[in-house]
Amino acid sequence: MSITVAGLVARSWSRPQVVGHRGASAHEVENTPASFEACIQSGAPAAECDVRLSRDGELVLVHDPVVEGKWVRDLSAACLHALGVSTLDEVLSITKDRSVLAVEIKQGNGIEESLAVLLTRRGLVDQVMVFAFDSRRVAMAVEACPTLFAVWLVGRPLEHWNFPELFARLSEIGASGLGIDYRYLTANLIAAAHSRGIPIFSWTVPPGPEADRVRDLGVNFIITDYPAEVSAQ
């Protein structure tokens, strides 16, 4: 039976679910097939990746805008592949029916539409989440694929927000989840989100006491470079 976003979110309300950050990036090169395979083998039910657009419009997995001194946006997918950069299509073949994949949108005009087309063609909309720090990109992703589960990532300390404003913006852009730097998590925030049916994604959590702390706070998802270690806690 294939794993779905809806099923994983449902499970997260009773027990926090582990998400491998860029795969199992503490042990394998991040955003590579080996890293995602290692994440799956760790038992974590989900993995996260970073996606940009190549010069020829391919969705490629790379965090930084520059690879070996060259802008990702100026290189073809073939050139990037020669530099060790995989395509999202390749990685979806690894995660399909085995893991939920959280796709963080980084850069590229029209990237949201390209993602919607790929996921629809592969029949994997229900196995993929989309993440973004830019709330406008979240809104564009949901507009391009209304059934896609979207998570807005907020990197600022939460004293910069009042909760009504935060949750109003979340609703406005069509996001279904909220991602918070684990250092800024509070019980009040989690309670406010949960009272609205909004799951909390915490990132990027190290194993050990901090993973225990965020689990005890009641987050829904723990994003970590160490999926095996955090899963074992």
Kindly report, residue by residue over 177-217, the tens digit of the pLDDT: 999 999 999 999 999 999 999 999 999 999 999 999 999 99
pLDDT of 105 strictly over 90: yes
Q: State the helix-helix crossing angle for 135-144 and 111-122, rounded to 10 degrees.
A: 40
Residue closest to 113 by CA, chosen among 137, 83, 132 = 137
Helical ranges in the chain per DSSP H: 5-12, 33-41, 77-82, 88-95, 111-122, 135-144, 163-173, 187-195, 209-217, 227-232
CATH number at residue 137: 3.20.20.190
Distances (CA, A) of 80 to 51, 142, 154: 13, 28, 30
pLDDT of residue 157: 74
Q: Count the domains in the chain.
A: 1
pLDDT of 112 strictly over 80: yes
pLDDT of residue 155: 80
pLDDT of residue 161: 75
pLDDT of 222 strictly over 90: yes
Residue 162 — very low, low, confident or very high, per pLDDT cuts 50/70/90? confident
Q: Which residues contact 38 (CB under 8 A, 6 or more apart)?
A: 20, 23, 24, 27, 28
By residue range, what is the domain housing residue 204?
5-232
pLDDT of residue 151: 99
Q: 218: alpha, beta or left, given left = phi > 0 and alpha = psi -120 to 50? A: left
Q: Which residues contact 40 (CB under 8 A, 6 or more apart)?
A: 47, 94, 95, 98, 99
For residues 119 and 163, the model is more confident at 119
Distances (CA, A) of 70 to 54, 83, 88, 109: 12, 11, 20, 18
Distance between CA 53 and CA 30 in Å, rounded?
A: 18
* Mean pLDDT in residue range 117-126: 98
Structure tokens at 26: 């503490």
Residue 48 — very low, low, confident or very high, per pLDDT cuts 50/70/90? very high
Report the percentage of the chain scoring pLDDT > 70.
Answer: 99
Q: State the chain's mean pLDDT as an integer.
A: 96
Residue 23 — very low, low, confident or very high, per pLDDT cuts 50/70/90? very high
pLDDT of 108 strictly over 90: no
| Cβ atoms of residues 169 and 135 within 8 Å | yes
State the pairing for strand pair 59-61/46-53.
antiparallel
pLDDT of residue 144: 98
For residues 161 and 152, the model is more confident at 152
Kindly report, residue by residue over 49-71, the tens digit of the pLDDT: 999 999 999 999 999 999 999 99
pLDDT of residue 1: 65
pLDDT of residue 57: 96
| Cβ atoms of residues 198 and 170 within 8 Å | yes
pLDDT of 142 strictly over 80: yes
Q: Which residues contact 115 (CB under 8 A, 6 or more apart)?
A: 51, 59, 88, 103, 105, 130, 141, 144, 145
Distances (CA, A) of 10 to 16, 158, 203, 221: 10, 26, 20, 11
Residue closest to 131 by CA, chosen among 46, 26, 17 = 46
Distance between CA 46 and CA 160 in Å, rounded?
A: 30
